[in-house]
Amino acid sequence: MIFDLDGTLHYTEKALVPAIQMAMEDLGFPPAAPESINALYGEPLEVFCQKLMNSNDETYRKFRSGIHRYQKITLPERGELYPGTREMLSDLKEMGFNLAVCSNAGMVYIELVTDSLGIADMFTLLEGRDGQASKTRRIGSIMSSTGSSFTVMVGDRYHDIEGAAENSILSIGCLYGYGKPSEMQKADFTVSSPAEIVSIVRNLTEKLPG
Protein backbone atom coordinates (compact mmCIF):
# COMPACT_ATOMS: atom_id res chain seq x y z
CA MET A 1 0.00 0.00 0.00
CA ILE A 2 1.45 3.33 -1.11
CA PHE A 3 0.02 6.48 0.47
CA ASP A 4 0.23 10.12 -0.38
CA LEU A 5 0.73 12.14 2.82
CA ASP A 6 -1.01 15.54 2.80
CA GLY A 7 -4.74 15.28 2.33
CA THR A 8 -4.61 11.49 2.61
CA LEU A 9 -3.16 10.71 6.02
CA HIS A 10 -2.25 14.15 7.37
CA TYR A 11 -5.02 16.72 8.02
CA THR A 12 -2.57 19.23 6.66
CA GLU A 13 -4.25 22.59 7.16
CA LYS A 14 -4.20 22.28 10.95
CA ALA A 15 -0.43 22.78 11.11
CA LEU A 16 0.59 24.00 7.67
CA VAL A 17 -1.72 27.01 7.22
CA PRO A 18 -0.27 28.85 10.24
CA ALA A 19 3.31 27.89 9.29
CA ILE A 20 2.90 29.23 5.75
CA GLN A 21 1.13 32.38 6.90
CA MET A 22 3.89 33.20 9.39
CA ALA A 23 6.61 32.54 6.79
CA MET A 24 4.85 34.90 4.36
CA GLU A 25 4.56 37.63 7.00
CA ASP A 26 8.28 37.36 7.77
CA LEU A 27 8.96 38.18 4.10
CA GLY A 28 6.61 41.17 4.09
CA PHE A 29 3.71 39.49 2.29
CA PRO A 30 0.13 39.50 3.59
CA PRO A 31 -0.77 36.00 4.79
CA ALA A 32 -2.70 34.04 2.17
CA ALA A 33 -6.24 32.92 2.92
CA PRO A 34 -6.49 29.33 4.19
CA GLU A 35 -8.49 28.24 1.13
CA SER A 36 -5.74 29.50 -1.21
CA ILE A 37 -3.14 27.51 0.71
CA ASN A 38 -5.29 24.39 0.97
CA ALA A 39 -5.81 24.30 -2.81
CA LEU A 40 -2.06 23.78 -3.31
CA TYR A 41 -1.42 20.73 -1.12
CA GLY A 42 0.13 17.98 -3.18
CA GLU A 43 2.15 20.42 -5.28
CA PRO A 44 5.90 20.94 -4.77
CA LEU A 45 6.80 23.78 -2.39
CA GLU A 46 8.11 25.97 -5.20
CA VAL A 47 4.58 26.01 -6.64
CA PHE A 48 3.29 27.36 -3.33
CA CYS A 49 5.82 30.19 -3.54
CA GLN A 50 4.93 31.04 -7.14
CA LYS A 51 1.17 30.89 -6.65
CA LEU A 52 1.01 32.68 -3.30
CA MET A 53 3.70 35.33 -3.81
CA ASN A 54 4.68 35.28 -7.49
CA SER A 55 8.27 35.35 -6.31
CA ASN A 56 11.83 34.67 -7.43
CA ASP A 57 14.36 32.05 -6.38
CA GLU A 58 15.80 34.09 -3.52
CA THR A 59 12.37 34.63 -1.99
CA TYR A 60 11.63 30.92 -2.43
CA ARG A 61 14.73 29.94 -0.48
CA LYS A 62 13.76 32.24 2.40
CA PHE A 63 10.13 31.07 2.23
CA ARG A 64 11.16 27.42 2.37
CA SER A 65 13.47 28.10 5.31
CA GLY A 66 10.71 29.96 7.16
CA ILE A 67 8.16 27.20 6.63
CA HIS A 68 10.60 24.57 7.86
CA ARG A 69 11.29 26.66 10.96
CA TYR A 70 7.62 27.21 11.82
CA GLN A 71 6.56 23.63 11.01
CA LYS A 72 8.81 22.39 13.79
CA ILE A 73 6.55 24.36 16.14
CA THR A 74 3.12 23.95 14.56
CA LEU A 75 3.26 20.21 13.78
CA PRO A 76 3.89 19.00 17.36
CA GLU A 77 1.38 21.55 18.69
CA ARG A 78 -1.43 21.36 16.11
CA GLY A 79 -0.75 18.47 13.75
CA GLU A 80 -3.52 15.91 13.26
CA LEU A 81 -4.25 12.77 11.30
CA TYR A 82 -7.63 12.38 9.66
CA PRO A 83 -9.99 10.53 12.02
CA GLY A 84 -9.56 6.78 11.68
CA THR A 85 -6.17 6.99 9.94
CA ARG A 86 -4.14 5.29 12.66
CA GLU A 87 -6.62 2.43 12.91
CA MET A 88 -6.71 2.06 9.12
CA LEU A 89 -2.91 1.77 8.92
CA SER A 90 -2.87 -0.75 11.77
CA ASP A 91 -5.55 -2.87 10.11
CA LEU A 92 -3.62 -2.95 6.83
CA LYS A 93 -0.43 -3.98 8.59
CA GLU A 94 -2.32 -6.78 10.34
CA MET A 95 -3.48 -7.92 6.89
CA GLY A 96 0.19 -8.34 5.97
CA PHE A 97 0.76 -5.23 3.85
CA ASN A 98 3.97 -3.25 3.67
CA LEU A 99 3.09 0.45 3.90
CA ALA A 100 4.92 3.25 2.10
CA VAL A 101 4.56 7.02 1.73
CA CYS A 102 5.15 8.68 -1.65
CA SER A 103 4.79 12.45 -1.47
CA ASN A 104 5.77 15.54 -3.45
CA ALA A 105 7.10 17.00 -0.20
CA GLY A 106 10.75 16.76 0.81
CA MET A 107 12.04 14.09 3.16
CA VAL A 108 12.66 16.52 6.03
CA TYR A 109 8.96 17.41 6.01
CA ILE A 110 7.77 13.80 5.61
CA GLU A 111 9.90 12.64 8.53
CA LEU A 112 8.77 15.59 10.67
CA VAL A 113 5.08 14.85 9.98
CA THR A 114 5.27 11.09 10.52
CA ASP A 115 7.39 11.48 13.67
CA SER A 116 5.20 14.27 15.12
CA LEU A 117 2.02 12.27 14.51
CA GLY A 118 3.46 9.00 15.82
CA ILE A 119 3.12 6.91 12.66
CA ALA A 120 6.71 6.74 11.38
CA ASP A 121 7.21 3.15 12.58
CA MET A 122 4.22 1.94 10.56
CA PHE A 123 5.98 2.47 7.23
CA THR A 124 8.51 0.30 5.47
CA LEU A 125 9.53 3.14 3.17
CA LEU A 126 9.19 6.94 2.99
CA GLU A 127 9.74 8.50 -0.44
CA GLY A 128 9.90 12.28 -0.99
CA ARG A 129 10.68 14.69 -3.79
CA ASP A 130 14.21 15.77 -2.96
CA GLY A 131 15.22 15.22 -6.59
CA GLN A 132 13.30 15.84 -9.79
CA ALA A 133 11.83 12.38 -10.34
CA SER A 134 8.10 12.46 -11.06
CA LYS A 135 5.64 10.84 -8.69
CA THR A 136 5.00 8.20 -11.36
CA ARG A 137 8.67 7.21 -11.38
CA ARG A 138 8.88 7.21 -7.59
CA ILE A 139 5.83 4.96 -7.30
CA GLY A 140 7.53 2.60 -9.74
CA SER A 141 10.72 2.72 -7.67
CA ILE A 142 8.82 1.77 -4.52
CA MET A 143 7.19 -1.14 -6.32
CA SER A 144 10.57 -2.38 -7.54
CA SER A 145 12.20 -2.10 -4.12
CA THR A 146 9.44 -4.02 -2.30
CA GLY A 147 8.89 -6.64 -4.99
CA SER A 148 5.19 -6.85 -4.17
CA SER A 149 2.88 -8.58 -6.62
CA PHE A 150 -0.13 -6.52 -5.44
CA THR A 151 0.11 -2.75 -4.91
CA VAL A 152 -2.51 -0.05 -4.42
CA MET A 153 -1.92 3.73 -4.50
CA VAL A 154 -4.01 5.92 -2.17
CA GLY A 155 -4.14 9.70 -2.61
CA ASP A 156 -6.20 12.85 -2.97
CA ARG A 157 -4.63 14.60 -5.97
CA TYR A 158 -4.31 13.96 -9.69
CA HIS A 159 -0.58 13.06 -9.34
CA ASP A 160 -1.58 10.04 -7.29
CA ILE A 161 -4.23 8.73 -9.66
CA GLU A 162 -2.10 9.33 -12.76
CA GLY A 163 0.94 7.74 -11.11
CA ALA A 164 -1.05 4.61 -10.29
CA ALA A 165 -2.45 4.31 -13.81
CA GLU A 166 0.97 4.78 -15.41
CA ASN A 167 2.35 1.99 -13.21
CA SER A 168 -0.64 -0.28 -13.96
CA ILE A 169 -1.80 -0.52 -10.35
CA LEU A 170 -5.15 0.24 -8.73
CA SER A 171 -5.86 3.61 -7.15
CA ILE A 172 -8.08 4.77 -4.30
CA GLY A 173 -9.03 8.46 -4.43
CA CYS A 174 -9.66 10.27 -1.15
CA LEU A 175 -12.65 12.57 -1.53
CA TYR A 176 -12.05 13.97 1.96
CA GLY A 177 -8.68 15.45 0.92
CA TYR A 178 -7.72 18.60 -0.97
CA GLY A 179 -8.17 17.57 -4.59
CA LYS A 180 -11.12 18.65 -6.69
CA PRO A 181 -13.75 15.96 -7.33
CA SER A 182 -12.76 16.02 -11.02
CA GLU A 183 -9.26 14.84 -10.05
CA MET A 184 -10.74 11.65 -8.62
CA GLN A 185 -12.84 10.71 -11.65
CA LYS A 186 -10.23 8.31 -12.99
CA ALA A 187 -9.57 6.61 -9.66
CA ASP A 188 -10.54 2.94 -9.51
CA PHE A 189 -12.26 3.51 -6.18
CA THR A 190 -13.10 6.55 -4.05
CA VAL A 191 -13.56 6.89 -0.30
CA SER A 192 -15.05 9.52 1.98
CA SER A 193 -13.07 8.47 5.05
CA PRO A 194 -9.87 6.53 5.84
CA ALA A 195 -11.89 3.67 7.37
CA GLU A 196 -13.38 2.83 3.97
CA ILE A 197 -9.93 2.04 2.58
CA VAL A 198 -9.68 -1.16 4.63
CA SER A 199 -12.97 -2.53 3.31
CA ILE A 200 -11.98 -1.91 -0.30
CA VAL A 201 -8.58 -3.54 0.10
CA ARG A 202 -10.01 -6.52 1.96
CA ASN A 203 -12.51 -7.13 -0.84
CA LEU A 204 -9.74 -6.86 -3.43
CA THR A 205 -7.45 -9.32 -1.68
CA GLU A 206 -10.26 -11.86 -1.32
CA LYS A 207 -10.47 -11.94 -5.10
CA LEU A 208 -6.77 -12.57 -5.66
CA PRO A 209 -5.89 -16.03 -7.02
CA GLY A 210 -4.59 -18.51 -4.49
For residue 132, the model assigns a pLDDT of: 66
157 and 175 within one domain:
yes
Tens of pLDDT, residue by residue over 87-130, are: 999 999 999 999 999 999 999 999 999 999 999 999 999 999 87
CB atoms within 10 A of CB 90: 14
Same domain as 112, residue 198 = yes
pLDDT of residue 210: 62
CATH of the domain at 156: 3.40.50.1000
Name residues whose C-beta falls within 8 Å of residue 33's C-beta, 6 or more positions apart in sequence.
Answer: none
Residue 46 has pLDDT above 80, yes or no: yes
The residue segments making up the domain with residue 74 are 13-78
| 110 contacts 49 by C-beta, under 8 angstroms | no
127 three-state secondary structure: strand
- Given 60, 78, 96, the domain boundary residue is 78
Q: What is the CATH number of the domain that holds 51?
A: 1.10.150
DSSP state of 121: G
Residues 65 and 133 in one domain: no
Q: What confidence tens digit (pLDDT) does each residue in 135-189 have?
A: 999 999 999 988 888 999 999 999 999 999 999 999 999 999 999 999 999 999 9
Which of 78, 102, 135 terminates a domain? The answer is 78
- Per the structure, the count of domains in the chain is 2
The whole-number pLDDT of residue 97 equals 95
Q: Are residues 96 and 198 in the same domain?
A: yes
Among the candidates 78, 93, 110, a domain finishes at 78
Angle between helices 57-78 and 107-116 (to 10 degrees): 10
